[in-house]
A and B are shown apart, each in its own frame.
Chain A
Amino acid sequence: MPAGGLATEALLLGISSGPVCLASCSPVLLPVLAAERKSAWGTGALLAEFLAGRLGGYLGFACLAWLLGLSLNLEPRARIMVYGLCDAGLAVLLAAYAMGLQTAPEKSCEHGCPASRARRFNDRYRTFAPVSLGFVSGLTLCPPFVAAGVRAAETSSLPQALLFFACFFVGTSIWFLPSVSLAVVERFAAVAVVARFTLFLLAAWYAYAAVIILGRYFLHA
């Protein structure tokens, strides 16, 4: 199939699948964008980091699957394990990020006590949070990604497969662009408080989901 036709097919597949990707990534992405309270450019940069992490998750899993000779269309039990581990990962990352958010005024704390070390760790983690959250979100193998991966594998060459997958990813990512509009909440200080509470609630949800999913996996082993 000519490259142009393949790219169009992939882009359209991505656009049609975008709402699903947006719905499943939103619980992780939107509170983080709101919490950082950056300008439109800053929010756009955070979104780009998240999407890069997400792409890394997709490609990382695809590489691993190729190396191990597995199909992307995992057996149900294997899929359960992947979901459970990803939920556990998201719970830990979201809770760590929420704890790192400062909602009180900045305090000077440079005299080497454990609190300042924890604070420095949190600050550093915050820099990588969007990428790491995007990466773990990308590992969850949403159905459109699996379908696109299977379709990409049917193409005649590796460059064509990569082109297909890249265009599919761009198509899904178009749906994420409106989330940059969250920059409008930059001027509301309370948004950081709300976002922090939201992140803790979501972390609790993902932790519960991980326990149930992994419990089901091991109980039915």
Chain B
Amino acid sequence: MKRWRAILGNTAAVATLAILLTTPFLYGWFQKGVAALDLRIDPQYTGGEVARVIQREGYQVVVRKPVPRRTPLQRVDPFVQMTWTPAAKLPAQVSDEIDLDGDGRPDLLVTFDTTHLKLDVTPRNAGYRAVRCSGVVSFSELIARVNDGIVVRVPLR
């Protein structure tokens, strides 16, 4: 029994070296293996899945699904995110009626100035809160330039 334990122990020690030697060659596979676990970055950071894309002249508005409150202790309030892209092709002043749920009726009037990022959101139904801000107020209430888009987040009621 003692002999077998010693054999196993020494085998494990040699295996440790083998793992090290294979690491540079299998590193890419390790990464792909982790990535294949189908884990996503939390929607409070990414803004949620894309719900629809609204085409406008020269730009588009990417509307994402609302990010709800998932636990009572969660400090990020529920919100819905929209992205105007490409930012370079936006007019200086943007004013859009946005239909978030695809029922044909506008839910928000979003107005912002692309230079100073001053945002004014007027809800057209009771599901959303009005917003008047410049820049980031919180994770659920903001206007920000992110990569090649202007991201707007509006808190839900």
Residues on A close to B: CB < 8 A? 20, 23-24, 27, 76, 83, 140-143, 209
Contacts and interface: CB of A to CB of B under 8 A. Distances in A.
B72 A142 contact: yes
A115 B109 CA distance: 64
A179 B68 CA distance: 27
A27 B157 CA distance: 27
B157 A141 contact: no
A83 B72 contact: yes
Nearest to A212: B75
B39 to A, nearest CB: 16
Contacts, number: 20
A71 to B, nearest CB: 13
Given A142-B71, A143-B72, 6 more contacts: A20-B70, A24-B71, A83-B72, A140-B72, A141-B72, A209-B73
Interface in B45-103: 68-73
Contacts of A209: 73
Majority DSSP secondary structure for residues of A touching B: helix
| Chain B facing A: main interface SS | loop
Interface of B: 68-73, 157
A141 B73 CA distance: 10
B138 to A, nearest CB: 11
Contacts of B69: 143
A24 B69 CA distance: 12
Contacts of A24: 71-73
A76 B72 CA distance: 13
A143 B156 CA distance: 14
A143 B72 CA distance: 7
Contacts of B72: 20, 24, 83, 140-143
B78 to A, nearest CB: 9
A143 B74 CA distance: 11
Contacts of A142: 71-72
Contacts of B157: 76
Contacts of A140: 72-73
A27 to B, nearest CB: 8
B131 to A, nearest CB: 14
20 contacts: A20-B70, A20-B71, A20-B72, A23-B71, A24-B71, A24-B72, A24-B73, A27-B73, A76-B157, A83-B72, A140-B72, A140-B73, A141-B72, A142-B71, A142-B72, A143-B68, A143-B69, A143-B70, A143-B72, A209-B73
A140 B97 CA distance: 36
A22 to B, nearest CB: 10
Nearest to A27: B73
A23 B70 CA distance: 10
Nearest to A205: B73
A30 B68 CA distance: 26
Nearest to B77: A76
A140 B74 CA distance: 12
A209 B74 CA distance: 11
A72 B137 CA distance: 29
A27 B71 CA distance: 13
